[in-house]
A = this chain, B = another copy of it.
Amino acid sequence: MTAEIISIGDELLIGQTVNTNASWIGMECSLRGIRNNFVTVISDDEQAIRDAVGVAVKRSDIVFITGGLGPTKDDITKFTLADYFQTKLKCHEPTLKRIEAFFSSRNRPMLEANIRQADLPVDAVILDNIYGTAAGMWFEKEGCIVISMPGVPYEMKGIMLNEVFPRLVQKGNLVSLYHYTLMTQGIGESFLADKISNWEERVRNAGLGLAYLPSPGMVKLRLTSYEGAQRKNEIEKFFKELQDSFPRYVYGIQDESLSEVVGKLLMKNGSTLGSVESCTGGALAHSLISVPGSSEYFQGSLITYSNQLKVQLAGVVQDHISEYTAVSKVVVEEMAIYGRIKLGVDYCISTSGIAGPDGGTDEIPVGSVWVAVSDKNGVESHCFRFGDNRERNIQMTVLTALNMLRCRILGISFEKK
């Protein structure tokens, strides 16, 4: 099955918004054996929409359109498609009810423009949007499926996952691919490839697809069976080998986040967690609480961004900051040790570093970060050197700290080999 994507919106053409929708749809399609061959970005312009759809329906089995379904005057996708497919708009009662419920649950009045969003093409299958007011639409013409969805990413994703893919499965349009992913942290793509080259050769000889999917601080390994889930056990065996050989890097499977993995370990042991954060400034706590149910183990944090609060709240010795600076083994260990007591938790993670872009020195350049983890047996700390990018340094520190805690709980050495 071949697909293409038409993304509508001036904001994409002039670069105010990056087209992450197209990436997401392309990725989700390829995971389901649908081959995406084209992405076309156009403006909210009637002729441009008609032309793009006209070309697309001739060369693809399915066309995903995003954008231009809002309630404002520049949103013309729905009207243009209704005209293109020669169908009329009519109030779709279930959608109107949904829009009414959307506004009443938020205690907000509904405007005429919102009511008009329930006017939908009579010849389209209407796809429920559970996160917003613009419904999706499914047209069919000459053997081609054309799907129109709002451009707001989480609304589009909801419609794709809840409405579009289930319908494609039902229609029997999807071939059976089986994917299994292994999550690693703390090792770069080329180093990983070098370490596992023999394993990779055996995987490829077994006729399995292998992809390295790197993102800052992490590399995801994806194995694909072209014969569906029947090779699940074989794939799991391949992954088990890597888990046993590299426990410090391999932390989980199937898109699990480190926060989820750490959370499960803590829940299993009935342990509690807190953090004392300087350079991550709350990003570590935020990552931990992004897991639903994290209140079971996560108690709280001290964000000691200023040195004064490091002393006052976390119990760091003032003289140690003066002597060693705040980005030092001594200070980060004190943050973890005393923070554990102040927060009354079983494990405490602490971070202190120079996130950048300024603030570095010859001795402690931008990107230098200390991370410590304390528990009832003591404290361990490690120093890292990330790059020049502030937000990236913060994210790398969060992932590294979570992996350090995971290794500490499991008794795995965190030293790089």
Contact = CB atoms under 8 A, between A and B. Distances in A.
Count this chain's copies in the assembly. 2
Give the dominant DSSP class at A's interface. Answer: mixed
Contact of A23 (B19, B40, B131): B19
Contact of A213 (B16, B26, B284, B286): B16
A341 to B, nearest CB: 12
Interface string A315-347: 000000000000000000000000000111000
A140 interface: no
Interface stretch (A184-192, A227-235, A262-270, A407-415): A184-192
Interface stretch (A161-169, A242-250, A304-312): A304-312
Interface of A: 7, 10-20, 22-30, 36-43, 48, 70-74, 105-108, 111, 113-114, 131, 152, 154, 179, 181, 188-191, 193-194, 200, 210-214, 216, 220, 222, 255, 275, 277, 280-286, 288-290, 292-295, 298-306, 308-309, 312-313, 342-344, 355-358, 385-387, 389-392, 394
Contacts of A394: 286, 289-290
Contacts of A214: 70, 152
Contacts of A210: 74
Query: Which 5 pairs between the two chains have the least Cβ-Cβ distance?
Result: A15-B27, A282-B282, A282-B285, A281-B289, A39-B41
A362 to B, nearest CB: 13
A290 to B, nearest CB: 6
A218 B189 CA distance: 37
A40 B43 contact: no
Nearest to A365: B105
Contacts of A7: 39
Contacts of A179: 14
Contacts of A343: 309, 313
A384 to B, nearest CB: 9
13 contacts: A15-B30, A19-B19, A22-B41, A70-B212, A105-B385, A106-B386, A154-B389, A282-B301, A285-B285, A289-B394, A290-B394, A295-B305, A302-B302
A304 B300 contact: yes
A36 B14 contact: yes
B27 A16 contact: yes
B211 A74 contact: yes
A39 B390 CA distance: 30
Contacts of A280: 286
A103 B129 CA distance: 54
